[in-house]
Amino acid sequence: MTTPRILSYGALGLPLAFAALPIYVHIPHFYAETTGLSLALLGTILLGARLLDAFVDPWLGWLADRLPRRAMLAVALLPFALGFVALLNPPSSGVEAWLLASLALTYLGFSAATVAYQAWGADIGQMPEQRTRLTAAREGFGLVGVVLAAALPSFLASELAEGIARLAWLLPPLLLAAAATTFLRVGAGTPAAVAGAPLWPSLRRVFADSAFRRLLAVFVANGIAAALPATLFLFFVADVLQAPAASGGLLALYFVAGASSLPIWVRLSASFGRTSAWLAAMLLAMLAFAGASLLGPGDLYPFALICLASGLALGADLALPAAIAADLGERQGQAGACFGVWNFVAKLNLALAAGLALPLLGQLGYVPGGTGGLPALTFTYALLPLAFKAIAAALLWRWRASLEIRT
């Protein structure tokens, strides 16, 4: 497979991830700051929307095995773009209903597009090494999109909230340009098999694969470890470090490190195996979380080093588990169904992080912009993810032999 074709496939990952950062990182802080919604109510709305979105994913994956991948992807991009623009431009009244409706529209389009896009990549790659490169290209372009989404708000407006609102209008042209590149230069690929089973038998077949169940267990623990700090990053920088103006640069550093590390993790996985490389990344992330728990006001430079280290580990989290999932999906002959379940679990992690962490912090006395409850914020941002990351590493070590696919 040629490098230009791999890069053309990966290009669409840029606008998808460009939107994902505001959706999953900025929205809690943005709505709390601009609309005055309480953390408890905001967490409840996010939990409800994300749970609804998560439970739709397995059905979308099943559908992706029955429709042309590219057609499903193309149709999904329109509601995704419309919902995203609405989400970041809330009205002055009826905010709760607006947030729920715009989240639902954005999530539906984003989920359908992502499942079809991931399954398309599994169709194109015929060998594990090719799927690792395709996944790395998709996530590499995605990290470029995330860096743009992190850095641009401060250039678009002096106030972060206004910059985020303006960011929404950049998505449609980015999406159009990237989709044109991917659709015109990448062929349809060949699915491993034509899946004909109804939804529930198809899902039972996914979960009948013991290797996929084990991969999901590792992915759940590892995903919660990533979702908690992603949800609380802006709160931590603003109230623990007391440096809200630095949040964009720190996010950019984190994601640039992740993008830069992708070729390294691809090479390490080829030399030592994907599970060994992923384990090394988990250990690096654990060190970063431990360091973050020791920080306080003004500790920008130490936190920048932590962002660098955790960003390097991020590259492995993005490239390696999804590549293993692609191999298992192709082995089953239903990559769409596997990625539907995969995305369901990923979004469930994010839903639990927002829906449980935000109300919990509110109960423990934390108020954004205040001085109360900061130890609880530090524990939830750093030490709780450290515990989940340790669980993930222990499970991956135990099951490493069954998850190392070299066919």
Q: What is the pLDDT of residues 314-345, one digit of tens each?
A: 999 988 998 888 888 777 777 777 888 888 88
Whole-number pLDDT of residue 270: 87
Q: Mean pLDDT across the stretch 67-75?
A: 89
Please compute, for residue 343, the number of CA atoms within 13 A of its CA located in the half-sphere on the CB side. 29
Domains of the chain from N-terminus onward: 3-184+196-403 (1.20.1250.20)
How far is it, in rounded angstroms, from Cα 233 to Cα 106?
Answer: 22
d(CA 234, CA 244): 7
Residue 153 has pLDDT above 60, yes or no: yes
5-11 average pLDDT score = 92
* Cα–Cα distance, 372 to 367 (Å, whole number): 7
pTM for the structure as a whole: 0.73
Alpha carbons 328 and 23: distance in angstroms, whole number: 29
